[in-house]
Amino acid sequence: MRHLMSPLDFSVEELDKLLNLANDIEANPEKYAHACAGKKIATLFYEPSTRTRLSFEAAMLNLGGSVLGFSSADSSSAAKGESVSDTIRVISCYADICAMRHPKEGAPLVASMKSRIPVINAGDGGHQHPTQTLTDLLTIRSLKGRLGNFTIGLCGDLKFGRTVHSLIQALIRYPNVNFVLISPEELRIPDNIRDDVLRKNNQNFKEVVRLEDAMPELDLLYMTRVQKERFFNEEDYVRMKDFYILDSEKLKLAKPDMQILHPLPRVNEISVEVDDDPRAAYFKQVQYGVYVRMALILTLLEVEVC
Ligand code: CP
């Protein structure tokens, strides 16, 4: 039995296979419509979510399976003090696979150790968000035609942004990826990613503060939200929240085929006028998230579709 805690749990070859499966699902959805008939996914969300929870549910429904779960800690027995370990032992009696989001780093890993069903990390604190990374990889490969040989700008909250941490770890395994890390001083990439991931693996990267300075060289721009829920005080959040606002004026500096990604939700960091720009790819990214989660469910449940 396999779990998914980090994008590195899959080799590059396994990831290729998973992304190919997602592309086949996109092209031939009817082929997969009953692949998980009789199977159930439990979505255990101790933190708010729109995309991740509902895309897992949509993915299982598209495969002919069923869904159950909770969408906040308050509506589960966690509110009465039940541990994650006990909860997963219970859920193992009800479902075939589960996706767990938790504010504490490592909580899905703890659950996986007691689980009798595959556990998918659907985001743990500021640590990892591997299924967002699978979504990002599928989006990049589909839109650029390749993984590697590009310059990607990662902009916003690089300190607490788990999507950025997971994506960097995944992308260093592909050739000739140049990273431009764009953040205010207070929200720079954590030392463990800069030193243990980027420097240790001889990756080409630089850190800049101004988005305008980085824009002309980027093939991809990955915007992120400044996350209110990760700040210890409101004052710091208010000071940081509008540090970056991507608008049509700034986009004039970008390459005509640069693609703009964002894991969403968006607050103010991308002006709504940008949504009509052909380079805005963040809503396509949401759709890719369903295909890749369908592929992941099939892979972890070892369901073969001929
Ligand atoms: N991208 C993402 O994780 O969105 P949600 O928080 O809505 O799940």
- Does the pLDDT value for residue 306 go beyond 90? no
Q: What is the model's pLDDT at position 67?
A: 98
Rounded mean pLDDT, 194-208: 97
Mean of the per-residue pLDDT values for the chain?
Answer: 96
- Does the pLDDT value for residue 230 go beyond 80? no
Q: Locate CATH 3.40.50.1370 in the chain.
A: 7-128+289-300, 130-286
Q: Encode burial over 45-56: b for 16+ CB neighbours within 10 A, e otherwise.
A: bbbebebbbbbb
Is 34 annotated as catalytic? Answer: no
118 SS3 class: coil
Decide which of 3.40.640.10, 2.30.180.10, 3.40.50.1370, 3.40.630.30 is the CATH code for 7-128+289-300.
Answer: 3.40.50.1370
* pLDDT interval class at 242 (50, 70, 90): confident
167 C-beta closer than 6 A to ligand 1: no
CA torsion 290-129-5-66 (nearest 10°) is: -30
| Tens-digit pLDDT profile for residues 6-26 | 999 999 999 999 999 999 999
Task: Identify residue 73 by its one-letter amino acid code.
Answer: A
Q: What is the model's pLDDT at position 43?
A: 98
- Does the pLDDT value for residue 232 go beyond 90? no
52 C-beta closer than 6 A to ligand 1: yes
Joined together, the tokens standing for residue 234 give: 């409101």
> Judging by DSSP bridges, how do beta strands 150-155 and 220-223 pair with one another?
parallel
Rounded distance, CA 20 to CA 26, Å?
Answer: 10
- Does the pLDDT value for residue 227 go beyond 80? no
264 C-beta closer than 6 A to ligand 1: yes
Is 250 annotated as catalytic? Answer: no
Output the pTM of the full model. Answer: 0.95
How close is the Cα of 27 to the center of ligand 1, in Å?
25
Rounded distance, CA 123 to CA 162, Å?
Answer: 8
What are the CA-CA distances from residue 133 to residues 13, 49, 185 (Å)? Answer: 16, 16, 25
User: Which CATH architecture best describes the domain 130-286?
Assistant: 3-Layer(aba) Sandwich (3.40)
How close is the Cα of 286 to the center of ligand 1, in Å?
10
Atom 4 (ligand 1) nearest CA: 51
| Tens-digit pLDDT profile for residues 74-90 | 999 999 999 999 999 99
Rounded mean pLDDT, 208-222: 97
Comparing CA positions, the residue from 26, 8, 105 lying closest to residue 293 is 26
What lies within 8 Å, CB to CB, of 284 at 6+ separation is 139, 143
Rounded distance, CA 76 to CA 102, Å?
Answer: 13
| Tens-digit pLDDT profile for residues 107-157 | 999 999 999 999 999 999 888 999 999 999 999 999 999 999 999 999 999
| Tens-digit pLDDT profile for residues 249-286 | 999 999 999 999 999 999 999 999 999 999 999 999 99
Q: What is the model's pLDDT at position 233?
A: 82
